[in-house]
Chains A and B, each alone.
Chain A
């Protein structure tokens, strides 16, 4: 015992000395007396507290020192490798190709896309045939393409502003002509303000995440367009879908959401209904008054994508609000495309001043993208002027639509899901075609239609379920409709299939012909063109049935 204490003697003396030095240094520090007194008194009152505070200090230091990156080197799943092993793993690893080659059908489709030589208009010249065709494919509802006055104004703008804006709107990219177009759109629709984006497609996928955050609730139509789907995906909000264009289903979903919220007693979050005016996927139209009634009743905000209805329907082309005679201020956000509706470029979101100002800082593709060229903005403004001054174009457009529908509705082998007033007309093949495959084994062996790569982007089970539940054969119908398209092209009528991103859409739309009726053609010409479409449909599909 004594021997052991003897050997420990130097250690103790060293410890005592170190302690004394530490105490002396501590006392030299300014304010040390206060801390000392505090620790002493607190220890006296409650010795447990000292321990607790010590643990807290250690925890704080540990948190501060911890790496802030997500690298989970210390995670349970991290495996420690030697350098040599890492080298072996690196050498062994074989990545997949960056992009697989296109399948034969995809490649054929890509090269079959009609290319216009020279100006696009109601009667463009095609590269493949070298002849002038009647155009039922390009989106030129009001017939503004090739308008001489707009061209003249575009040239004048070019000579004053140059072409590119060379900067985002925040940094000297905002031109006076951008502000003019924003005001024109707001005045035209009857909203407080509007904001311009430089691409129509990117507008809605920026507007949604600007308002909808994690925890917010979005109720959307199941068949909304791809841009909305992506906007919803990136917003990370809770999303509920209702059946396509079925407001009963919408009401049920709204009630279910409210019930759920009451049950969970969650906080009040932002809630949005997102839908389209005229649906890109099938041309059907929303019942706006009923939508507004529902959204007011359940205290939702309504985001209405009018890409295909602004500049297309209504007495003067104002879109759904004009058809249903609803003040535009009742819709919280109206989104539209200047590229489609005004034959210029870009898109817009119209709404109250608060809605618009919020996007000027939070709209991703507004803030981080260059402003649109000045001459496109002026072309947009001029387009609106044309709408204001000559509302008769929408009368003739409606007449053309009626003429087209009169012919198409009589065709036996097709169904048309589109609204009778919609200048965007989708034509589906009638009946269950999945049975046809057996009768016509000519369909290519890859009829599963699944590209190995793109299929892997979605969960396979969901896709298989989709496949099983439908009674139509995607590839067969696409092939038939492509035949119709080519038949029409050979007779100098330009039409197109609705092109979709297979296996990336929420719901795979049934293949369809997508006809865009234009006011740029006379009723006679429309009847002639649609007559050709009808004949081709009968010829290609009629004989199969």
Chain B
């Protein structure tokens, strides 16, 4: 493919050109697209399934390599070409397969909390009894069958069990009891997991097709590829792109900085880009200082132990992420859990632990740290931040909010839950988040007061021992974050080139409500970084935020109106759809993937969720167009009928699918 042959010079030179040449290439791309689209529409009047291969690639490759369309791809699936032909005024500078073209202003929404509206807690699903019953029966059958197979297999087919049986003095590496779930339950639905892919995890993704000849013990690649609509990747703002301003900046940084910084932050791996990024992150989230870590998981697992230790208490939501649990376990602090997102449970726990003190000795706790997530990755529930801040004032605990999924994805300015609720982030002690999701990069950050961050820099495990973040990743963070914030054009009197610290102070603690920090000054970015105007102005960033907000609400409310049982906050880009029966996971996955427009989804089951609430988890992206969400809803509607999944609304209150797609705007504005 494109990777194997040396790239044409135009590919690299294009970006250094003036805006005029960019316009020219955009315009030619546009004309090619509209031609192609006109042809596609002309043909779709006939039978859409038998569309002959379109011979349009020659007219497009001349513009730039961005838009190479491959002859062998089938355009009838609506993935490669936009469903709505662009008009002459519209200029799109993204590749439709990575970031969908959508110019309709009505398909935008602001992600914002309406003051006074109660924050929905977590409501357990309530399916009909026969569903519950059949789910339990399914698991029972699976477990019984599994044990029978183990029993017989060990006697008649010992060869395939020898890694589970003690052999010449070695205990088995994993006991058959521990691996029972994996072998006997997960293997049956292995086709839903670990699907290898290639290319950009953007609006669409290319699957490397595979099949299993032996009931999922081995997976073989068939050699073919399938492009599918991707509603699974954590690509909330659609920054997973191989083209565009951010990718250009990353390319520039690889050429300037290389791939690695060779070492840990405290031992010769520190670079000026690190300081740049940390200052920018602090400004973005509205805290005094921030530090970054090369892996999101490690951000929690290596820095939490530097905050709490023996004699400290951690209060943790029962559904917190594995990395938080890892960090807490290493820290040696005591842990207590409260019911997921249940503020009453939290308050009664707080009253108990403060009044009782440490177990047995009854000494007061040194400190209490509340560990919660902004947006929960499996349920889509949003943290009840206003209530927690209220409790924090009363009970004096420290607050650590893991914004892995909410940063960039929530709030009118994309600054996470504090922004969404209009609360000053300085009321939170520690904001943690990752760059993997909304920013299309990797790694994580911790932001807070400078004293705390400096303490973590010295005492956190990552500082001296873990590799520092690499320059391409740093640049992706800087470029994507700056394009959400917008860049203040340089003042006439240019300040010094290497100002690594930002001059404007973070909002003070006294402010009650959220104060938007405004665009980032040009001097805070690396001097060589040149963002294209649409990114530098912050316009595209704002559009991405508003597209994500619309798509999230539209999909969530659409699924509800179709009659499905969903979880989570309507504004959350994570939309879980409940399946219950384990057998339906395989079927749902396969039926979505085998459509004319293949859709790939994530199914999650025990142990990531409680046993009975197996679910599909959609991750909406700003890269999706309204038509993509229509496709998902339409497919869910059909699959839901076949699999008997619509138990959320009585039949009379459901909307037909055509009504949903035509009233999308009204639906998205509808409060739950």
Contacts and interface: CB of A to CB of B under 8 A. Distances in A.
Interface of A: 69-73, 77-79, 81, 85-86, 89-90, 93-102, 106-107, 109-110, 113-121, 127, 135, 137-140, 144-147, 150-151, 154-167, 169-176, 179, 198-202, 205, 211, 213, 216, 225-227, 230, 233-234, 268-271, 280, 299, 301, 337, 339-340, 343-345, 354-355, 358, 360-362, 364-365, 367-370, 372-373, 375-376, 379, 454, 456-457, 494, 496, 498-501, 504, 514, 516
B492 interface: no
B600 interface: yes
Contacts of A201: 295, 298, 302, 461-462, 465-467
A117 to B, nearest CB: 5
Contact of B330 (A101, A114, A234, A379): A234
Contact of A155 (B251, B270, B350): B251
Given A162-B242, A163-B472, A119 B257 contact: yes
A369 B297 contact: yes
Contact of B461 (A109, A127, A230): A230
A516 B364 CA distance: 47
Contacts of A107: 454
A77 B269 CA distance: 50
B205 interface: yes
B196 A226 contact: no
Given A154-B254, A172-B205, A161 B232 contact: no
Given A113-B265, A158-B254, 11 more contacts: A71-B336, A96-B366, A110-B454, A117-B272, A151-B259, A155-B251, A159-B242, A176-B196, A201-B298, A268-B166, A354-B163
B124 to A, nearest CB: 16
A68 B360 CA distance: 21
5 contacts: A96-B366, A98-B367, A119-B257, A151-B259, A202-B297
A121 B260 CA distance: 9
A110 B458 contact: yes
Nearest to B365: A95
B440 A164 contact: yes
B298 A199 contact: yes
Given A118-B257, A167-B234, A365 B247 contact: no
A112 B265 CA distance: 12
Contacts of B262: 120, 138-140, 145, 343
A155 B6 CA distance: 11
Interface string B585-617: 000000000000000101000000000000000
A175 B198 contact: yes
By CB atoms of chain A within 10 A, which of B194, B395, B467 has the most? Answer: B467
Interface residues of B, number: 141
B548 interface: no
Contacts of B485: none
A340 B297 CA distance: 19
B397 A95 contact: yes
A166 B440 contact: yes
B11 interface: yes
A445 B370 CA distance: 36
B240 A164 contact: yes
Contact of A167 (B201, B330, B354): B201
A139 B295 contact: no
B154 interface: no
Contacts of B268: 114, 116, 120, 135, 137-139, 494, 496, 516
Contact of A372 (B243, B261, B442, B465): B442
B359 interface: yes
A204 B235 CA distance: 29
Contacts of A110: 266, 454, 457-458
A501 B435 CA distance: 26
B452 A365 contact: no
A234 B186 CA distance: 25
Interface stretch (B16-24, B167-175, B517-525, B575-583): B167-175
B437 interface: yes
Contact of A198 (B254, B398, B439, B442): B442
Contact of A109 (B458, B600, B602): B458
Contacts of A498: 267
A135 B262 CA distance: 11
A98 B429 contact: yes
B247 A138 contact: no
B355 A156 contact: no
A337 B467 contact: yes
A140 to B, nearest CB: 5
Nearest to B235: A166
Interface string B348-382: 01111011100110101111110000000000000
By CB atoms of chain A within 10 A, which of B230, B251, B258, B360 has the most? Answer: B258
Contacts of B584: none
A95 B397 CA distance: 8
A17 to B, nearest CB: 36
A337 to B, nearest CB: 7
Given A158-B251, A201-B462, A225-B465, A456 B196 contact: no
Nearest to A77: B360
A175 B233 CA distance: 13
Contact of A166 (B182, B271, B354, B437): B437
Interface stretch (B320-328, B560-568, B624-632): B320-328
A471 to B, nearest CB: 25
A312 to B, nearest CB: 13
B3 A368 contact: no
Contacts of B456: 99
Interface of B: 1-3, 7, 11, 98, 163, 166, 168-174, 178-179, 182, 186, 193-202, 205, 208, 230, 232-235, 239-243, 246-247, 250-251, 254-272, 274-275, 294-298, 301-302, 306-307, 309-311, 321-323, 326, 329-330, 332, 336-337, 349-352, 354-356, 359-360, 362, 364-369, 394-398, 429-430, 434-437, 439-442, 451-452, 454-459, 461-467, 470-473, 476, 498, 600, 602
A169 B194 CA distance: 6
Nearest to A459: B310
A345 B307 contact: no
Contacts of A73: 352
Nearest to B397: A95
Contacts of B260: 120, 144-145, 339, 343-345, 379
Contacts of A106: 458
Contacts of B476: 163-164
A82 to B, nearest CB: 10
B187 to A, nearest CB: 10
A538 B200 CA distance: 55
A270 B171 contact: yes
Contacts of A161: 198-200, 242
Contacts of B275: 115
Contacts of B398: 95, 98
Contacts of A70: 336
A456 B309 contact: yes
A73 B356 CA distance: 10
A100 B232 contact: no
Nearest to B321: A368
A4 B171 CA distance: 74
A494 B271 CA distance: 13
Contacts of B439: 164
Nearest to A298: B169
A158 B246 CA distance: 11
A301 B170 contact: yes
Contact of B271 (A115, A139, A226): A115
A138 B464 contact: no
A176 B198 contact: yes
A150 B259 contact: yes
Given A115-B275, A171-B232, A172-B197, A270 B367 contact: no
Contact of A364 (B199, B322, B395): B322
Given A114-B268, A114-B270, A115-B271, A202 B250 contact: no
B256 A118 contact: yes
A151 B258 contact: yes
Nearest to A495: B268
